Every structure is written in C-alpha cells, then in structure tokens.
Amino acid sequence: QLLPPGVAGELCVGGRLTRPCYRNDPEGSQRRFPADPFAAGGRIYRTGDLARWNRDGTLEFLGRIDAQVKIRGHRIEPSAIEAVLGRYSGMRSARVIAVGDGSSRQLCAYYVADRELRGEELRAYLGRQLPEYMVPSFFVAVDVLPVTANGKLDVAALPSPFDLLREPAAVRDGGEDLTEPQRRLRRIWQEVLGVAKVGLDEDFFALGGHSLKVLVTVAEIRRAFQVELSPAALFRARTLRAQSALVAAGPKARQAPIAPAPPKPFYPASPAQKRLFLLQQLALDSTAYNMPYAFSVEGALDSARLGAALEKVVARHEVLRTGFELVEDEVVQRIHAPSPFAVETVEDERDLPELMRDFVRPFDLSRAPLLRVRIVRRREQASLLLVDVHHILMDGTSTELFWRELSQAYDGRELGAVPLQYKDFSEWQRSAEVRWSLKAQEEYWLAQYRGGVPALQLPLDFPRGEYQSFAGRTLRFDLGAALTRRLREVCERHDLSLNMLLLGAWSITLAKRSGSEDLVVGTPAYARQHADAKDAMGMFANTLALRLRPRGELTVEAYLAQVREVVLRALENGDYPFEELVERLALPRDASRNPLFDSLFVTQDFPARALSFEGVRVEPLELEATTAKFDLSCFAAPEGDQVRLVVEYCSDLFREATVRDLAAHFERLLGALCESPAACIANLEGSTAVSPVATEPTLAVVRSPRAEPAPDTPRPGEETVPKLLAFWREVLGVEDVDAETDFFAAGGHSLKAIGLMLRIKKAFGVDLPNSVIFRYPTVSAMAQLLAGGADGYRFSHLVQLSKGRGSRRLFCIHPAPGSVVCYRPLAELLPPEWSVFGLQAKGLIRGQAPHATVEEMAADYVREIVREQPRGPYFLLGWSVGGKIAYEVARQLEAFGERVSLLAMVDTDPVFLPKARAQFPRLRLFGFGLWMLLTQGGTVRKNWHVLDISSFWPPDLWRRLRMWIELVRAVVRYRPPRHAVAAEVVLFQTAGCARREERLDDKALSVGSVVRDLEIVPVAGHHLDLFSAPNVEPLCAELAKRLGGQLVAQNVLNQSMPSARLAVI
C-alpha cells in the first residue's frame, strides 16, 4: 500500500535491475524479495529501512523499521513515536532512542524545532496519542541531529539526558521549588528507580522501589552526602521530602577510601568467591554457576574488532583475567597479565539450544580468563554471538557494566578510568576495621539459628540423590494487571514493599505444601555499600538467609508485619558474608543440598543485556535454563502494570506439572491474601500437594556429622592408613589424629576438605569427587573406600559411545548383562549426524545395589537422558530385556509432556506380559551367563575404563552374576500398561523370537497386545549375534531408514573391536 507524503513506512525498491534473490538463501529471498504489486512478474526489494516522502519531493531516511527496543517488558518501535512527534506544530525532525543500561533503560526523544518546545507540552501531546509506556521519559532539544558518514544517526554524538539532569533547568518538576540537596537526592531516585519525573511527595515504592533498590539508595546517599542512613530508616521515610529531612539530620558516614593493595603473587579470595570455588570443586562437571548469554546480530560483525574490544575490557579489569586455586588450603586469586583474547568463529546451522549445549561447559577455575566468546556465522550478514562467563568473576551489576564497556570499546569510544580493582576490595574486606564493624552483625545472624536450622521438607516427585543435582528448568508466568493493582493497594495500606508482600506469600505457599511453620528462604543483597565499589567489576554479592515463621494461627496482616521486620533487620545486618555464617554454624555436611536454605526468592528487574555495536543490530536472545542452583527459586520483576514471575526448579526433584501446580497455588494465595488480610493463615487457600517420595529431616542440629559406615570391602594395604593419617594431620594442623578422627569434628571445613581430597587423589591415583569426604570423613572409612574401588563414585548410567557431527541422539538401553559394550558396532555404523549413548545398569561396580523394579530403573535413566537432551523428540533403542525397559523410559518421557519419535526393540521377547507366577531357570541362566562372561571377558575388560565395569576377580564376578539375575527378575515382574506409548514402535525380530511368539498359548500376553500399531521387521541372525558381523550391518541399515540417513561407509569386520557376543536374555 503506497503511503502519502509525510507518513512513514518501509522503503521498497523495484524495477528491472532489482536482483530476484539472495544467493544460497531461499528463506531470506522469500522474505526480502516479494512479488511487485505494481508490475506483473516483477519483484521488489524490502530494504527494512523506515522512510517517508517529504512535501518538497525529497525522501527522508528515518532509521531501521525493525529497530525495536524493549522497555519494561514492552516492545516498542521508536519510529512510531517519531512519526507522531513529527506531526506536532513547530517540530522539524525528531529521533527516539533507548538510553541507560539493563533494567534502567528509558526512552529519550531528541528533536529540532522551529520554535521553543518544552518537554511538558510534548509529553502531554504524546500522552493523548500513544500508550503511557510509549511516552519518552526525556525530551532533549538540539540544534541539529548529528549523523555519521553514511547518513545514519550518530548516537554517540548526542548529549546524555542523565548528564543534563544535573543542570537545574534540564527537567521541570511541576512548579515545585527544590533545594539543592533535594535536587541531588532526586537525581539518585531517578537513576536508581529509572524514572524521569519525581515529585516531593511521591512514594519510593510506588515508583518501583524494592529491597535491593533501598540498599542501592542507601549506598548512593552515603556516596553523595557522606551521611549514614539505615535501610529501615529509608523504608519508613518513603517520600523525597521525608528522605531529604533524614539526610539533613543524619549522622556523618565514616568511610575511608579503599586503598590499592600492594603487588603480590596472589591475593585471598573474597568470601563470595570462596563459596563459588567450593561449589565448583564439589561438582567439577557442573555448569550451574556459568552465566551464558546469546545475541542475534544482523549485519557484518567484525570478529577482529570484537576481539580487540574484549582484550581492552579484559585488560582494564584485573578480575576478568584472574584464576583461582588453593595455596596452603586457602582459596586465592591469581591475576594474570593481559594477553590476546581468542574469539572463536564457526559456521553452524543448528538451533540455539543445541549450540548452547556444545558451547557451555565447565570452567577450570585455575585457568584465566573464565570467559568464552564464540561467533556463529549463520548466513551472509547474520550471526549469533555467544558469551559464557563464570559467576565467580561478576555479579549482575558487573554484567551490565561489561556490556556497556564492550559496546563502547567496539565502537572505538574512550572507556575512562577504572575506579577500583576487585582485589583491592577483597583485601579491604579482610581489614581489621571491617572485621570489627561486622561483629554486631555476626551476633544477629548467629542468634537467628540458635537451636538448629529448619530444613524445608517439600513433597518431591523423585528421591533426593546422594549428591546435589543442578539439573534445572524454568516456568514463566505473569500476575495480571488486576491482581497486581490489588497487591499494590495492600502494600500501601500496610506499609509494605511489593517484595515483602510477594516474599510473605511465597513463604506461606512453601509452608502449606511442606507442612512446616518454620522455614528459611534466601534472598540476594546489594554488596556495594562502599562508595568506591559503585562502578567496579567483580563479585559484589551477598545472600541473606531469612528465617520466617508463617504459623497458622497468625492473621495475614500480623504475619506480613513480621516479614517486614525480618527483612528490615536482615538489610541492616546485610554486610555479614553468608559464607562466614555457614562456617560459624558448623552445619552437618549434606552433599545432597544447599546449606541453610533450599528456596530462593528475588524481586528485581530482569536485565536487558544492552549490547550495541556500531553498524550492526544486536538483540538479546532468551535461553532455556538447564541448571538450577536451588531446589526452588522464584524471581519476580514488576513490569508496568504486571509482575513477571520465573520459577527455576531442580528437574531431578520436581516434575513440571508439580511446579505448575505450585505456581497456581501461589497465585491463588495472593488473591486470597488481598481478599482477606484479616484471615488466619490456616484458613487461606490450601494445597493439593502429594506426599513426599522420601521423608526428609525437618531440623538440622548444629553439630558435626558422624562418619557413615563404609562399604563392606576388604581391608586396605598396609601403607594406605599411614598415608591418610599424615594427610589428616597436615591439613588439620594437629597431631592428635587416629583412624576414627572425624575430619570436620577436628576442625576441618569445606576448603580444607578440598585440599585433603587433592592430596588423596594425587597419592592414590584415583579420580574421586571431592564431595565423598562428607560421607567418609574418617581415615578408616576413607581407607575402606579406596580399597573397595573408589572409581565407582564416578559412575554414570549414561555412556557416550560415539559423537556425531549433528545434534541427533540415539539412547540405547542395556540388555540383561547391564553393560552397553554390545552397542559399539552399531554406534560406529549409524549415520554420521547421530551421536549414540548407552545406558548401563546399576550394580556393575562394587557397593552398588541393582534396581529393584523397571520403573525405578527407567526413572534414573530418564533423569540422565533429559540432562543430556533437555527436550524431545527422543529416539530410544533396547536389545532383549532392554526393549521392555526402553518402553517404560518412553512412557515416563511422554508422561512429562515430551515427544518420543521412535522406540526400537531389538529381538525383545514377544512374551511381553509373562504370567504372574512365571519362573525362569535360575541355575541354567547362571551357568550360561558364567560361560559367556568368561569367554568374552577380553571385550569387557578392554572397555572397563569407558564403561566403569569392575574387574573379573571372583567376588566381582559373583556380584555381577547376582546383579544379572536381579535385573531379569525385575523385568519379569514388570507389568507395562497397555497402549501407554504414542511413539512409533518397531520390533526387529529374529526367526527364533518369531517362532516363540507363534507358540504363545495366550495372545493377550504378546507384545502386540501392549503396543498399538506395532511394526515388526524381520532381521537375520540369532539372538546372541545380532550386533556382530555379518548381522549388524543389515540391522543398522533397517534402523537407519527409520532414523532418516545412510550407514557409515565402512565395515565393522575390519575394525579392531572384537565381536561383542554378550549373553542377552
């Protein structure tokens, strides 16, 4: 549709010289080269530029039509605002851009006018034409709109509205006469709250304030006025007028500048860094504390220029080139010299989740920089920019600073002086002055937990594992405008911040679902209280462990008043490091969960990741969460007239359906709280929670743990105990140690434990997770563990058998012997885009009991499958009894809402539902299995390091055969529900197995009665040699047809891999 002069629209180019397409980009061609509506058979090129015809016949370029910005959750086209501004009397030209970083982004209108136009009249005019969220916060008159050499707006040359705010006339305040201190305080509010207009009697919390912003404001007031105010005082003085009076009468702050630390080879890590170092050492393969980001880039992203910009930013901030290690059992920071920064560039068309799965991997904290950057070229003029950084380097404020400086460095702008290096801050934290100032805060926190620490006992869908799982997912939902408005009214009536109200409701939800009226919820605290730390890069973060008691007999009003006081007291004592509180409480070590609390609640603005490079368009991409730091975390972000909520949960503990139910319960409870604030908590909307799978303790007494009995294994060699005793004495620094001395009771703590485990692993050549010290804290227990096969603690059901070039995965369930070595020939033959994984059975190593049921087996396998591939579609295969187990795996995956595309059963017994009293020939099975293992022991032994299979020492052999029998017994007892799987099911069947089905007396017991639309594919060979040459190749060819691909052009007969003839039942 052609537009008249003065109306903005997309600029399109047509004519005989218009190219019909992009080369090798049919999708882009279809989008950019549509049919010309004005010339039959022709095409036009959609430029993506916004333009308009002026009345004098000139064509005016207005910017990119897709240059959207996101402000407080709303996607806005600045060009739409510019078009309305352009129609105002006296307006010559106007441009609207986003200013500020992260959650403080706002719209600013720059304009050239023929007469004097005031911001108030322009704001009122736009308010009549546009929604409130599209009205700019700032209006700046300029003589001319600067442009770059190619005619586009030169954003860098525009004056900053934040700088103009410092001039008294820059922003009018509705006729109010403000004193100079009030203007300075208003400036702080404007920056912290991200608002342009602040009246003397406006409420801090009504403008978007919450607990974290209170702490930021306290720090800014200290910095600007040298006045010390408490968070509680600021909370009670909620208006600009009241806070101005507090500032005028407040006590002077006594805060000396942070001095630069003297040069040293290394520096002690801060408490927050120590904690993150410890968590990484306890789970070396975890990415829970990685902070990954992804951006789409339209235009020619210059990799050399980006690398130079990264080098510049990393060189100026020492923390970005810092590694972490243990020196004399103390975590230290070692700062490395500046060096070239390698930006990896690849071409890859896979989807974003697959790209991130390959890109995000554990960091070795000793090797700086703990930062990775990758450019993924998708097509001409289009890329993805992937960034991954470890949380030990930076907090949320630092990431916003990092994006801003990276943008400035890429554009060639000056970055200014670095205000503070992080090592100077961590040294200052250890100073006698700071330690003395924290004594009263330490007493406050210790008093909160005298008598014990309550443990949250939520109903779990899956049993809690021996070690903490960081596998996670997120659930997103919004509180609508009507409910949000009612919540704000409750806050106003009861002197609450929205954060306090939401936190109170979250704690009531947890209490109702757990049955506990005493619980701990964590929340983050702003840790940049010193003036020098405002714009520094580093890990400036602390956590507050809030003890809350939502007793049923309390009214909602009374409980929320308690929550308010708990939050205010915690904020006043918020400088005391959480890590030191954990150390002082000497909690029993529990490797399966976090110390002190399992649920986190945060009210904050979600950062916008404002990254912008000259000449290209950069947009942040939403990433699917695959990790969770706690069992349950709730993040609330007020945006306009709604509240966005994100629940992050451990997917090894909770199903998505359970979390959805909890979120709905939370929302219902918020509504009930608004309706009946005088009601007792016990009478508010209840819970429909199910009973826990496993009972968990409700109170952890503050004491050191006792050693858990070690596995029943032979005594170690004569040299093991003396070596361990020497390590215990060296690390603990005491001589009075014997074989039964508990490491933690004797003064050991988490960092010393890591030092101990490093010595043990080096001396004995074992690769144990550091967390085993929590289960085996005595010399005798550790010695027995070492003697009994310590490598077992690295056991994983999932074993990667081949790594394909693509993103597709085939998961193969073990047959009766439990191992997956049999699938190696298949893995070598399948199409090259497929990666093949085997799932081996529990019981292959010492100290492991086999699964008792197929359902338990499948639940464990599903957990590991989903950790490797969080979303479907899934492709499953099982040989022999593995086919029945794979059926249950498919059923559970589909019950979680995931899609299973293929379930391949290879020669699985067609008697799918054996009679209830069916017996199997145990002695015959035992003898046959013994013969097979002895004749094929070389194959298994060759692969034991890959498959975690134990030795063929007679006791081990006996244990393996017992495991085999238990596995078969579990499969015989399994009763699969009929027609419970929607996936395509294929049975690859040998002639022997087909004859067995023909002999069935009761066809209702057949696999065909359980599986709807079963496809049966005859295959050559016998049951035991299907995965050996020559039978494996035709089998793989049939499988490849259903996977969509061709076999690898090679013959497994010529490979060195021995024929895998393992007995399969």
Ordered by where they begin, the domains of the chain are 9-164 (3.30.300.30), 185-249 (1.10.1200.10), 283-427 (3.30.559.10), 720-792 (1.10.1200.10), 795-1054 (3.40.50.1820)
> What average pLDDT does range 446-453 have in this prediction?
90
Residue 813 has pLDDT above 70, yes or no: yes
User: How confident is the model over 755-783, as a mean pLDDT?
Assistant: 81
> What pLDDT shows up at residue 201?
84
Q: How crowded is residue 90: how many other Cβ atoms within 10 Å of its Cβ?
A: 10
pLDDT band at 293 (very low <50, low <70, confident <90, very high): very high
- The larger pLDDT score, comparing residue 784 to residue 390, is at 390
- Pinpoint the alpha helices (H) of 788-943: 824-829, 854-868, 881-895, 922-935, 937-942
Q: What is the pLDDT of residue 26?
A: 66
Report the pLDDT averaged over residues 262-285: 90
CA distance 204 to 257: 29
CB 423 within 8 A of CB 667: no
Which of 838, 840, 842 is closest to 811 using CA atoms? 838
pLDDT greater at residue 1057 or residue 535: 535
Does the pLDDT at position 252 exceed 50?
A: yes
Residue 895 CB partners (closer than 8 Å, separation 6+): none
- Is a pLDDT exceeding 70 seen at residue 922? no
pLDDT-derived band at 771, boundaries 50, 70, 90: low
Asked if residue 108 lies in contact with residue 116, where contact means CB atoms within 8 angstroms, the answer is: no
Q: What is the 3-state secondary structure (H, E, C) of 23-85?
A: CCCHHHHHHHCCECCCCCCCEEEEEEEEEEECCCCCEEEEEECCCCEEECCEEECHHHHHHHH
pLDDT at 1050 over 70: no
Query: Tens of pLDDT along 298-318?
Result: 888 999 999 999 999 999 999
Between 962 and 647, the more confident residue is: 647
At residue 331, φ and ψ (nearest 5 deg) are -75, 130
What pLDDT is stored for residue 781 in this prediction? 87
Q: Give the integer Cα–Cα distance in Å for 333 and 272.
A: 12
Under the banding of pLDDT at 50, 70 and 90, the label for residue 254 is confident
Which helix or strand (DSSP H or E) is residue 722 part of?
A: helix 720-732
* 106, 137 contact by CB (below 8 A): yes
Distance separating alpha carbons of residues 877 and 908, to the nearest angstrom: 11
Residue 374 in this model has a pLDDT that exceeds 90? yes
What confidence category does residue 665 fall into, taking pLDDT thresholds of 50, 70 and 90? very high
**SS in 3 state form for 609-653?**
CCCCCCCCEEEECCCCCCECCCCEEEEEEEECCEEEEEEEEECCC
Classify each residue of 798-819 as buried b or exposed e, where b means 16 or more C-beta atoms within 10 Å of its C-beta: bbebbebeebbbbbbbbbbbbb
Residue 448: HSE in the Cβ half-sphere, 13 Å Cα cutoff = 25
pLDDT band, very low/low/confident/very high, at 945 (cuts 50, 70, 90): very low
Whole-model pTM: value is 0.63
pLDDT tens digits, one per residue of 987-1027: 999 888 777 777 666 667 778 788 888 899 999 888 878 88
What would the two tokens of residue 164 be? 């103009």
* Residue 204 burial (CB count, 10 A): 24
Rounded to 5 degrees, what angle do the CA atoms 294, 298, 304 make?
75
27 — pLDDT class (breaks 50, 70, 90)? low
Q: What does the pLDDT read at residue 284?
A: 81
The DSSP code for 287 is -
Annotate 218-254 with three-state secondary structure: HHHHHHHHCECCCHHHHHHCCEHHHHHHHHHHCCECC
The mean pLDDT of the chain is 82
**Model pLDDT for residues 569-602, shown as the tens digit of each residue:** 999 899 999 999 998 988 877 888 898 999 999 9
Six-digit token pair at 681? 């908590």
Q: Give the pLDDT confidence of 673-726 residue by residue, as tens digits.
A: 999 999 999 988 644 333 334 334 333 333 333 333 444 444 575 688 999 999
Query: In angstroms, rounded to a whole number, what is the distance separating the alpha carbons of residues 452 and 699?
Result: 6
DSSP strand pairing (138-141 vs 541-548): unpaired
Is the predicted pLDDT of residue 788 greater than 70, yes or no? no
d(CA 579, CA 867): 29
* Burial bucket for residue 749 (CB in 10 Å: 0-12, 13-18, 19+): middle
**The predicted structure's pLDDT at residue 234:** 85
Cα–Cα distance, 518 to 180 (Å, whole number): 48
Structural contact between residues 247 and 229, judged by C-beta atoms closer than 8 angstroms: yes
Mean pLDDT on 898-918: 80
What does the pLDDT read at residue 943?
36
Residues 64, 50 contacting (CB under 8 angstroms): yes
For residue 805, pLDDT beyond 80: no
Residue 244 amino acid letter: S
Altogether, the residues listed in the chain come to a count of 1065
